[in-house]
Structure 1
Amino acid sequence: MQLSVVEAFVAVCELGSVRDAAAALHLTQPAVSKRIAALETQLGHDLFDRVGRGIAPTEAGRAFLPHARRLLAEMEDGQRALDSLSQQVSGRLGLALSHHVGLHRMPPVLRRYVRDYPGVDLDIDFLGSEAACDAVARGHMELAVITLPQPPRPDLIQREVWADPMRIFVAHDHPLASTAAPQPRHLADYPALLPEPDTTTYALVADALAAHGVTFRMRLASNYLETLKVLTAVGLGWSALPASIRDPELKPLDMPDLALQRSLGAVYHPGRRLSNAARAMLQALGLD
């Protein structure tokens, strides 16, 4: 069985279209369709239902997908094992970064890494932390440096690099900015600007406020902290942002009873051999 036909099958399953799979694999659509047809012939099962312009895996396709992913992952692990014999730090490194970590934590790390390991082809993708974890779990990315999920995902190894304390911020003309000794209960009176409810950061804030018996209402959600910072500065609501933010248009509220702290760090798969390039990145992050 040729790996190229398996790769085409997995790409169509995950991207949901032959066109998108062809673009991702740098192939033509007929070439992808030919590979899928060859795999179906070899396996003796139809792997996709084709209705109009849509395509979706059949029951057989869904059953074969995890095996196909493991096959590709094993091949990639084997290549890494061979590459590691030379101790040379080179080749591709698939690295997923959350936007906040990529903008505010990683630049000095990447600057040193690029200088020290010019033979590495860094393939960086900016993803939400949850999507980055999924990309590592599926083998699309070798490493992710993100907001670490809480509770930890059992299918991944996660290692803290930075503690990231957070505070509640408002605009200077927001009513809470002039409130003497603001308390967590006061946040219930005003709309919140936070990441999406399925994120670690949202859960952190919601759990901390729930511990004080506080429920809050959302005005809008965005997973881009830079966006939340701007919307908070114009007075649309309060937000929980990294305490390290220095913005003259924002005022941090002093709420010592409200403990908010994220953990930022690296995530990788426990069952896959790390490449020399990945191990060098962990060392650059201060992780042995």
Structure 2
Amino acid sequence: MEARHLRYALALADHQHFGRAAAALGIAQPPLSQQIAALERELGARLFDRTARGVFPTAAGEAFLVRARQALAEMAAAVSDAGRAARGETGRLRLGFIGSALLELLPSLLNRFARGHPDVRLGLQEMSTCRSAAALLAGELDVAVGRGAPRGAGAEDLVSVTVGRDRLVAVVGAAHPFAGQAEVSVEQLRGEHLIVAPADEEPLVAARLAALLGEGADSPARTGGITEARDVHTIIGLASCGIGVGLGPACMRAAARRGTWVCEVSPRVELPELVMSFRARDRSPVLAAFLDTTREVCPGVGGQLGDRRVGR
């Protein structure tokens, strides 16, 4: 029994006439009669009564037609579901990201992707660059967004694309001497208590700050002290409490609260690039669809992503 046999039986039941059913199916009447007869022999039951008034389903035929309609509907749904999955319209995407990515990149990217792919389940988790890279290599994430490309064992199996650049700024509470200043110098920062990302979670940022502010006798840890904070909102919050000077990306201006002041750092200090990483061998259509959306939001990354697109 094939799907065409189900369609033939349904067409005959709908039109109640072999000639009209054959015309609707686009075949000649004799083959239709032969196929219905063969189907009845296979089932061992008469499905239709042939009368002068027309062709009508028997009790066995009525029971068969109910299941035939369900089977064809399921087959059509299977074809549709397979096509949607192949186009990345269904499935799951697991994304790990640093908090500052929510200030510029991710709002537009996730909003556009969710609108275009409402049936994709998004698993979103804020985590440090180091943790997200480890989770990506372990297969626990599909995409990671952090500061700088992942390094170390397994990094050669990843594709890493720059999706943003930013510079260092300082944030202070309203009562701090820096409040009201357009900029502060690196020399001024060396004597301040600083609020920064943990070195073990954001090593590239920590290395950049260590090179900038110096190590040894005049390091911040010896002259002013350091408080570690895992995200930009905590850095801003602690600065507003008068704990010290928060250091972070310029995009945290978007999260600055009342009672805080953001200063440029002079000379300008570029932070490690914001990087999106994924496994090179991951051929998931959902990932391909997400990268297509990334191309739309970040036009400059298209060449770095190569030919990885939905349907290729």
The change in CA–CA distance for 1:240 and 1:276 in structure 2 (over 3 A counts) is same
d(CA) in 2 for partners of 1:145, 1:284: 15
- Asked if the contact 1:205/1:240 (under 8 Å) is kept, the reply is no
- CA deviation string 1:191-243 (max 9, x = no partner): 111111121322222222239x9521243211121011011122111121221
Number of paired residues? 206
The aligned residue for residue 25 of structure 2 is: none
Q: Which amino acid aligns with 2:232?
A: L
d(CA) in 2 for partners of 1:215, 1:121: 46
- Asked if the contact 1:135/1:141 (under 8 Å) is kept, the reply is yes
The aligned residue for residue 102 of structure 1 is: 102
- CA deviation string 1:47-79 (max 9, x = no partner): xxxxxxxxxxxxxxxxxxxxxxxxxxxxxxxxx
Of 266, 271, 274, which aligns to 1:264? 274
The change in CA–CA distance for 1:85 and 1:170 in structure 2 (over 3 A counts) is closer
TM-score (norm 2): 0.58
Of 170, 176, 198, which aligns to 1:174? 176
- Asked if the contact 1:196/1:221 (under 8 Å) is kept, the reply is yes
Structure 1 unaligned residues grouped into runs of 5+: 1-81
Shift of 1:118: 2.0
Structure 2 unaligned residues grouped into runs of 5+: 1-81, 296-300, 303-312
The aligned residue for residue 125 of structure 1 is: 125
User: % of aligned pairs identical?
Assistant: 20
Of 185, 188, 193, which aligns to 1:186? 188
The aligned residue for residue 165 of structure 1 is: 167
The aligned residue for residue 245 of structure 2 is: 238
- Asked if the contact 1:182/1:254 (under 8 Å) is kept, the reply is yes
Secondary structure at 1:228 match in 2: helix
- Asked if the contact 2:84/2:90 (under 8 Å) is kept, the reply is no
The aligned residue for residue 148 of structure 1 is: 148
d(CA) in 2 for partners of 1:179, 1:164: 20
The aligned residue for residue 73 of structure 2 is: none
The change in CA–CA distance for 1:182 and 1:114 in structure 2 (over 3 A counts) is closer
Shift of 1:262: 3.1
The aligned residue for residue 280 of structure 1 is: 289
Secondary structure at 2:113 match in 1: helix
Shift of 1:103: 5.1
CA RMSD of aligned residues (A): 3.1
- Asked if the contact 1:205/1:260 (under 8 Å) is kept, the reply is no
d(CA) in 2 for partners of 1:240, 1:139: 32
The structure number with the bigger radius of gyration is: 2
Shift of 1:176: 3.5
d(CA) in 1 for partners of 2:112, 2:85: 24
- Asked if the contact 1:92/1:120 (under 8 Å) is kept, the reply is yes
- Asked if the contact 2:87/2:286 (under 8 Å) is kept, the reply is no
2:259 counterpart of 1:249? yes
Q: Which amino acid aligns with 2:89?
A: V
Shift of 1:190: 1.7
Shift of 1:150: 7.2
d(CA) in 2 for partners of 1:205, 1:215: 10
The aligned residue for residue 227 of structure 2 is: 220
Query: Structure 1 residues 171-180 or 216-225, which shifts more?
Result: 171-180
Q: Which amino acid aligns with 1:285?
A: T
d(CA) in 2 for partners of 1:89, 1:259: 41
- Asked if the contact 2:183/2:266 (under 8 Å) is kept, the reply is no
d(CA) in 2 for partners of 1:223, 1:265: 18
d(CA) in 1 for partners of 2:118, 2:290: 13
2:211 counterpart of 1:207? yes
- Asked if the contact 1:229/1:241 (under 8 Å) is kept, the reply is no
